[in-house]
Structure 1
Amino acid sequence: MGSTRRSFTQEYRAQAVAFVLEERRPVAEVARNIGVHEMTLRKWVRTAKESGAGDDPGGGELTGSERAELERLRARDKELTAENAELKMQVAFAKKVATWFAKDQR
């Protein structure tokens, strides 16, 4: 029993590779969604990277001001993450207090 080999257009391959490289979606997820074997998509992505399709237009290296901005944003993200964790603890405590008061009122 022979197998039939599927063929894909260049546009189809390019769109699939764009999902992985530009939208930064996992290869396995994209492969599942479009109905292509994961190894096939990995090969397409590797070929695109080798041909330079996924190159960063900015040259790849960060300038001094970009690096400073990145460090500032990472520090801000760390602060906001800590603040978010503290607020979550406060909400959990408030829920416990509200539950305790609700039980006490009965």
Structure 2
Amino acid sequence: MVDTLILDLLDPEEARRPPMAMKDYSDEFRADAVALFESTPGATYKGIAADLSISRGSLRNWVLRDRERRGVGPDTARDTGRAARASQATPSSEPDERIRQLEARVTELEASERNLATERDILRKAAKYFAGETNW
């Protein structure tokens, strides 16, 4: 009972979910999850974890362990999301910093455009396939 109350206070949405079963993921799955997170501009632990049906904490631990193994420091702005939002909310007074922010945003939008184009092409092919199967 006390555990539920504590969870309710911390995150009411989390308290409503059933507890997750402990799962043993393969090293390949973990590496793929980390690679997906690292290669997706603007990705969040919560978003990628939800897509893969794993816990946010597990994904975060895998990413941090991988970065430590490679000798790369944690990307705190991306990890927490707070610094990234703060940098977008308050424009920098330095023109060079503003240019870097805009270039990063352009890269993010180009990646999003490529994803959307791929999804559109898949849907077009599927529509053609299913249209050919109907006998109206």
Question: Based on CA coordinates, which of the two structures has the bigger radius of gyration?
Answer: 1
Given the two structures, how large is their TM-score scaled by the length of structure 2? Answer: 0.37
Given the two structures, how large is their TM-score scaled by the length of structure 1? Answer: 0.46
